[in-house]
Amino acid sequence: MDTKSVLIGVSGGVDSAVAAYLLKEKGYRVEGLYIYNGFPNRAEDDAVRVAEKLSIPLHRIDIAGSFKKDIVDYFVAEYSAARTPNPCVVCNKKIKIHYLFNEAKKRNLDYITTGHYARIENLGGTNGLRLGRGKDRKKDQTYFLFQLGQKELSKLLLPNGGMTKDEVKQIGSDLGFGFLTERESQEICFIPDDDYRGFIEKDHNFQPGNIVTAKGDIVGKHRGIHSLTIGQRRGLNIASERPYYVLAIDKERNEVIVGRDEDQYCKGLIARNVTWASQIYSAATTIRATTHIRYRHRGAASEITVPPPVNGKKYSADTVYVRFDIPQKAIAPGQAAVFYQGDILIGGGWIVKGVQSD
């Protein structure tokens, strides 16, 4: 039998290192790919050390231009448009999986793989592949992969999906990768100090403005609409016996609207650019699912339908209305709404707005 080959994205972290080891142990011919995004850090040196320890070839590609256009510019543009971006979701589809897929094809390698904590389930049939939650629920990363379709899933291996983070770290330690287990990657890879506000302000000017209540009363000042997000409580600097929360951001008026905790709840949301794991979901008029409105959200039972026309104008075909069984709070435009049935991811889209009444 021919030995199967696989190209793994080696990030310089313990997850990808262990994934490469596990596949090699299973008999795969493993090659590594380091994707340089234009933001130098020690990850590349660590990736080289991993490849040397595992005795696998390591290729390098420079995609700095694409990364700036597809990720960094998107990140800044979303904040400028009063939305909360999710660069990790976009990066997984447009950068990591895209370039792994292309490079594997160039090199005639059978599969691609990453260190993500997720599983791939085959339910049978031509559209039967699904993403399933990883064994480690605290580290499950299916949310960030919701845009992957049958084409990508058919070539993707996820060896870490059946393991916990602690198990992966232990394997890494046993292999001599202690220098990797000691550090976790920062929240946003191109902002090493996690100061996203300062990062945006380096090249873009934002004007300070008013923080107002829903009635229009001015209760504070903000340094720019990029500096606050929906649901935020800390850092508003508003003197009040009860805390205020960010309810909405008005780009045109350069205002941030705040209210009390009870004002945050919405009965539903509108999501656009929705993608589905299979045609059976896109063809349905009503779908019951658990909807996650952000990565750390516990998920909410919901009904997904095509939204009704607004002022006689129909929404596009890839837009849905999600109605929650129990109202949810802090629904941020720009974040991903991801849909599950049990442990299986069935689709997702980008939040346009929260809906407070039917």
Pull the structure tokens for residue 119.
């599983």
CB 274 within 8 A of CB 319: yes
| Separation of alpha carbons 192 and 199, rounded Å | 10
Residue 341's region, left for phi above 0, alpha for psi from -120 to 50, else beta, is beta
Helical packing angle, 14-25 and 165-174, nearest 10°: 70
CA geometry: angle 347, 232, 74, nearest 5 deg: 50
| Separation of alpha carbons 228 and 138, rounded Å | 26
Start-to-end CA span in the chain (Å): 59
CA geometry: angle 232, 237, 241, nearest 5 deg: 90
Sheet holding 156-157, edge to edge: 58-62, 29-36, 5-9, 111-113, 156-157
Handedness of CA 133, 139, 143, 148 (dihedral sign): negative
**Active site amino acids:** 91, 189
286 to each of 26, 158, 169, 195, 282, how far by Cα in Å? 42, 31, 42, 41, 10
DSSP result, 178-201: HHHHT----SSTT-TT--HHHHHH
CB 116 within 8 A of CB 18: no
